[in-house]
Amino acid sequence: MLIDLDRMNHNIDMLAKSVGPDKTYRVVVKSLPSVELVRHVMARANTRALMLFHQPFVNVVADTFPDSDVLLGKPMPVSAAETFYKKFSFQPEFDPATQLQWLIDSSERLAQYQGLARRLGVRMKVNLEIDVGLHRGGLPEPEAVTPLLKTIQDDPSHLTLGGLMGYEPHLTGLAANLDHESVKSVLSVYRGFIDKTKDSGIDVSRLTLNGAGSHTLGIYEKDNTMNDLSAGSGVVKPLDFDTYHLRDNQPALFIGTPILKRYDYLPLGGNMGKTLSAWDPNRRRLYYVYGGYWKARYVSPSSVPDAFYHSTNQEPVSTSESVDIKVDDYMFLRPTQSEHVMLQFGDLLVVNDSAIANQWPVFRETG
Ligand SMILES: Cc1ncc(COP(=O)(O)O)c(C=O)c1O
């Protein structure tokens, strides 16, 4: 798995510029699952804000980035939160009470977290997931925040409010600006939640008002409703991220796989191979590559169609006669997404000036 350093740096700069100096750029760690990769993005974008989605990563991040500011991107079962505190070494550098925001999507979950905080004798910072139109859970309307805010305000030794999180990937792909009806709707619903929070006497200027993702972050350059915008995948721009607001970002993530075998005809029984080759010019040569069946598409050599059939061991790739590469040469693929595919290989190989400049291990689950 290769990362092109120059292209990635360009992408980080584009995202950071789009967020601008007045808002926080929050790095979505699930989409960049490597400590060294995350460290690089944080340094280049000059941010300490991270969004996490997986319990073991929370402990890894607390130990590795003691200066970070962490927001959970999905609500964790309370048992997962408990696991964090059990494994956490309570070293003075990372203070969960101020640097870690647990995502809460309902009164029931808040009650569970409050119970845990009381049992452990800790103060937990919570961020409320709000539904701004995606309908993937979260508080359904602004009025719903009021009872949760009361619970938080009534128990200051165990709970504090970190902010709100309203994700809106249903805007993905739209050539949308701030005048677009769907964007206006998201922002007006978001503002409704902010107003209800203010009604409870809370100073919202101190809160993390998070939203966006790689596909949509570019929409908000000139809007200040949210002060904290997330993006991960746009840093390496897998295929599914060839969308409108990332049009100036560049593909930076590739799988390189060696050719194991080559046939200059389609080696199928009877006349099958000949018939297929006559009918389809992309079925005149057959290569077997090392591995396969990834969430990815062949991009080099160009015009290589998808696998002839899928195999995770040795995948056959049929091509036209114009694809003339040897055994031990490489084919390259572009993953459709980063978060899962990046974890299927060993270290990430960071390519700079046509040479491998670095090897970055990917996240491993720890016990
Ligand atoms: C809550 C939340 N925020 C932001 C993101 C954006 O991540 P990315 O930029 O990798 O698409 C996601 C992706 O799933 C998400 O669930």
349 has a pLDDT exceeding 90: yes
Q: Confirm or reject: Cβ of 233 under 6 Å from ligand 1.
A: yes
What would the two tokens of residue 74 be? 């999905």
The residue whose CA is least distant from atom 14 of ligand 1 is 213
Looking at the chain, list the stretches that DSSP marks H as alpha helix, in order from N- to C-terminal side.
Answer: 5-19, 35-45, 55-64, 78-87, 96-99, 107-120, 145-154, 181-199, 272-279
Residues 6+ apart with CB under 8 A from 169: 134, 213, 215, 216
- pLDDT value at residue 175: 85
Helices and strands in the chain: count of H runs, count of E runs? 9, 16
Residue nearest (by alpha carbon) to ligand 1 atom 5:
213
C-beta 218 within 6 A of ligand 1: no
On the 0-12 / 13-18 / 19+ scale of CB atoms within 10 A, 122 is middle
Query: Shortest CA distance to 141 belongs to which of 95, 103, 100, 191?
Result: 191
- Specify the residue with its C-alpha closest to ligand 1, atom 6: 213
pLDDT of residue 269: 86
pLDDT for position 365: 65
Residues in the chain: 367
Whether residue 301 has a cis bond before it, omega within 30° of 0: yes
| Averaged pLDDT, 178-184 | 94
> Are 101 and 75 spatial neighbours (Cβ–Cβ below 8 Å)?
no
pLDDT of residue 344: 94
Confidence band (pLDDT; 50, 70, 90) for 174?
A: confident
Confidence of residue 89 (pLDDT cuts 50, 70, 90): confident
- Ligand 1 pocket test: which of 167, 239, 240 has the largest number of ligand atoms within 8 Å of its C-beta? 167
Residue of minimum CA distance from atom 4 in ligand 1: 213
SS3 162: strand
Each residue's pLDDT tens digit, 49-75? 999 999 999 999 999 999 999 999 999
Question: To test ligand 1's pocket by mutation, which of 12, 14, 28 has the most ligand atoms within 8 angstroms of CB?
Answer: 28
Nearest protein Cα to ligand 1, atom 15:
73
CA 153 to ligand 1 centroid distance, Å: 29
Task: Give the pLDDT mean for 75-90.
Answer: 94
Q: Which residues contact 157 (CB under 8 A, 6 or more apart)?
A: 123
**Residues 272-283: pLDDT tens digits?**
999 999 999 999
- Please name the residue whose Cα sits nearest to atom 1 of ligand 1: 73
Distance CA 258, CA 222 (A): 46
pLDDT value at residue 52:
98
Average pLDDT over residues 242-260: 97
Q: Which atom of ligand 1 is nearest to the CA of 339?
A: 10
Print burial letters for 252-270: b (CB count within 10 Å at least 16), e (below 16).
Answer: bbbbbbebeebeeebeeee
Tell whether ligand 1 has an atom less than 6 A from the beta carbon of residue 28.
yes
Q: What's the pLDDT tens digit per position in 186-228?
A: 999 999 999 999 999 999 999 999 999 999 999 999 999 999 9
Averaged pLDDT for residues 5-14: 98
CB 282 less than 6 A from any atom of ligand 1: no
Confidence check: pLDDT of 367 > 50 = no
pLDDT in tens, 314-345: 999 999 999 999 999 999 999 999 999 999 99
Q: What is the structure's pLDDT at 258?
A: 98
Any atom of ligand 1 within 6 Å of the Cβ of 316: no
Ligand 1 and 241: CB distance under 6 A: no
Q: Give yes or no for residue 231 CB within 6 A of ligand 1.
A: yes
Burial of 346 by CB count in 10 Å (0-12 exposed, 13-18 middle, 19+ buried)? Answer: exposed
173 or 18: whose pLDDT is higher?
Answer: 18
Mean pLDDT of the 155-175 span? 94
The pLDDT of residue 46 is 98
Architecture of domain 2-233: Alpha-Beta Barrel (3.20)
For every residue of 294-346, DSSP letters joined together read -SEEEEESTT--S-SS--SSEEEEEE-TT----TT-EEEEEES-STTGGGGSS
222-231 tens-digit pLDDT:
999 999 999 9
Average pLDDT, the chain: 96
pLDDT at 260 over 80: yes
**Amino acid 303: pLDDT:** 86
Q: Where are the domains of the chain?
A: 2-233, 253-337
d(CA 270, CA 96): 67
Q: What percentage of residues in the chain have a pLDDT greater than 70? A: 98
The model's confidence at residue 364, banded by pLDDT at 50, 70 and 90, is confident
Q: Cα–Cα distances in Å, from 27 out to 75, 189, 190, 211?
A: 18, 24, 21, 12
- Above 70 in pLDDT, residue 25? yes
Token pair belonging to 265: 């005809």
